[in-house]
Structure 1
Amino acid sequence: MHENVKGESMLRLENVTMQFGGVVSVNNLSMEVNKGEIVSLIGPNGAGKTTAFNVITGVYAPTNGAVYFKGEKIIENYPKGKMRKLYASENYGKYKNTIEKTPDQITKLGVARTFQNIRLFKELSVFENVLIAKHMRQRANLFSATFMINYAEEKKNREDCMRLLEILGLADLKDEVASSLPYGKQRRLEIARALATSPELLLLDEPAAGMNPQETMELTQFIRRIKDDFKLTVFLIEHHMNLVMDISDRIYVIDFGKEIATGIPAEIQNNPRVIEAYLGVSGDE
């Protein structure tokens, strides 16, 4: 654990900038997550972490830069229109193509995510929440669904969902309405729904938000287990430093949208720039 070993690239951001008008939210950011790693992205509130996730998952088209998944370029953009004059970051003119994918297309490639604010279908059951995600990979169309030609596929989807709930310890809650679950179970359900899309890369946006210490400890063990059981690569945003330092192979730190440090947990803990970004003072003060 915590060894900085170069492996097969799963995700790579290359000079990604996300600018809203005159505000640069992500500033010339380059990062790489290798297959099988757990990598954390940390930084103060407003540092641009969730914006980076939104670029990776197709919610935003970056103002400039490129994103690669498993070595293939899936996103690329460059400043256009008024942004050509407003652009305030680096590498202007380096990128000349526009490659865009919608969030569902990126999910089908093998990238799944959870959100900082839980986004379950609150009035549906636990089982229904997972089944809806499973349908993302369903081959049925309107015709086959109308005439029940897809019966075998639907049956397998339901069996797979039940098996997933059993693995994640949610089977006994399958008929419960999602909104009735305790907060920690809702977080687990959101992860289960992401896993139902059969991802290779799982993005977790502040999974420990709102959890007490016991729930956070259980979540840490849970993330490790699903990473191994489902052969996942995990990229997470988190403010809970105990979880980050305990679980991460490597850590990227950003402030005002720009990388200020990267390394294994021991290196990050003692980095003066990281201490200054979080505490507002230098390490000498």
Structure 2
Amino acid sequence: MKNQVLKVENATMQFGGVVAVDNLNLEIGEGEIVALIGPNGAGKTTAFNVVTGVYQPTNGAVWFQGEKIIENHPQGQMRKLYKGQHAGEYPHVLAPTPDRVTKLGMARTFQNIRLWKSQTVFDNVLIAKHCRSTSNVLSATFRLNRREEAAQREDVEALLETVGLAEVKNELATSLPYGKQRRLEIARALAAEPKLLLLDEPAAGMNPQETDELTAFIGEIRDKFHLTVFLIEHHMNLVMHISDRIYVLDFGKLIAEGTPAEIQNNKRVIDAYLGVAEDA
């Protein structure tokens, strides 16, 4: 494997008596496109939420670019701990918030599109630049950050050109066709300048042509932006065509890991998810 970007170690996420993710272990190397697949309710989005700091895991740890960023052991009451604060007080918990995880170099999209409906395409992407801003309340109030704002706007212009949305930059986000709304959501994630891009069912609701365009688009942005991509997806043609490796969840448990060819021929995966051929 290339330089490790993400490592999930023994991650468990329990909600009362329901174990949504059960002792999950996975690794993703630099520049890879890795898919997480499984039936509905298998725990895929929950796993994403653990990785990105939305959920504090019941147990386990998340490593990003060689640094442990999230950790919890089942010792006493769960507590929030910002990295570096009171590190010795609760050594069993490390839980940065999603905004801090984003600043570390992760960005994600969601299964249900979450755009700013009353904002233009341009402003939807510009908002994401906030996480990289060095200004504060004082500098913003007195417009001391004009150079930084100008640079951010130039970056957004260039990004929209790269992703093919420059011509619609002044349109309301919700006026775009569905496929372009998905592309806009990915562009907004790219504006946060991630090293790891997490895509939660990016092809959901797309027609075959839009899905083919998205498949090519993901490969293009991986190369142009030097990204590592971790995606959840149900469209098997997309997954099998673009993934370097695939992990398979079923009822929260990892049941298989391998190349697309290995996953396609894995009987346990076929039985649990891909389905058995009629003549089998």
| TM-score (ref. length: structure 2) | 0.93
Alignment pair present for 1:42 and 2:42: no
Alignment pair present for 1:52 and 2:47: yes
The Cα of 1:79 is off from its aligned counterpart by 2.2
Superposed CA offset, 1:53-98 (max 9, x none): 0000000000000000011000000225589xxxxxxxxxxxx610
Provide the identity percentage: 70
Question: Equivalent residues in 2 for 1:158-237 (5 A)?
Answer: 158-237=153-232
Q: Secondary structure at the match of 1:166?
A: helix
Give yes or no for contact 2:75–2:92 (8 Å, CA) kept in 1. Answer: no
Give yes or no for contact 1:134–1:157 (8 Å, CA) kept in 2. Answer: yes
Q: Secondary structure at the match of 1:194?
A: helix
Distance, in Å, in 1 between the alignment partners of 2:73 and 2:130 is 34
CA RMSD of aligned residues (A): 1.8
How many pairs are equivalent? 269
Corresponding residue of 2:13: 18
Letter in 2 for 1:131: L
Alignment pair present for 1:120 and 2:115: yes
Task: Assess, with a 3 A threshold, how the Cα gap between structure 1 residues 81 and 177 changes in structure 2: closer, same or farther.
Answer: same
Letter in 1 for 2:257: T
Corresponding residue of 1:107: 102
The Cα of 1:7 is off from its aligned counterpart by 1.1
Distance, in Å, in 2 between the alignment partners of 1:208 and 1:57 is 21
Letter in 2 for 1:45: N
Q: Secondary structure at the match of 1:33?
A: strand
Distance, in Å, in 2 between the alignment partners of 1:22 and 1:221 is 41
Paired residue for 2:129, among 134, 137, 150?
Answer: 134
Corresponding residue of 1:91: none
Alignment pair present for 1:269 and 2:264: yes
Letter in 1 for 2:267: P
Corresponding residue of 2:88: none
Task: Assess, with a 3 A threshold, how the Cα gap between structure 1 residues 234 and 170 changes in structure 2: closer, same or farther.
Answer: same
Q: Secondary structure at the match of 1:253?
A: strand
Letter in 1 for 2:105: G
Give yes or no for contact 1:276–1:283 (8 Å, CA) kept in 2. Answer: no
Distance, in Å, in 2 between the alignment partners of 1:41 and 1:251 is 6
Alignment pair present for 1:72 and 2:103: no
- Listed as ranges, the gaps of 5+ residues in structure 2 are 79-90
Q: Secondary structure at the match of 1:169?
A: coil
Give yes or no for contact 1:275–1:283 (8 Å, CA) kept in 2. Answer: no
- Listed as ranges, the gaps of 5+ residues in structure 1 are 1-5, 84-95
Paired residue for 2:148, among 144, 153, 167?
Answer: 153
Distance, in Å, in 2 between the alignment partners of 1:23 and 1:283 is 34
Alignment pair present for 1:250 and 2:274: no
Task: Assess, with a 3 A threshold, how the Cα gap between structure 1 residues 53 and 214 changes in structure 2: closer, same or farther.
Answer: same
Runs of 4+ in 1 over 2 A off after TM superposition: 79-83, 279-285
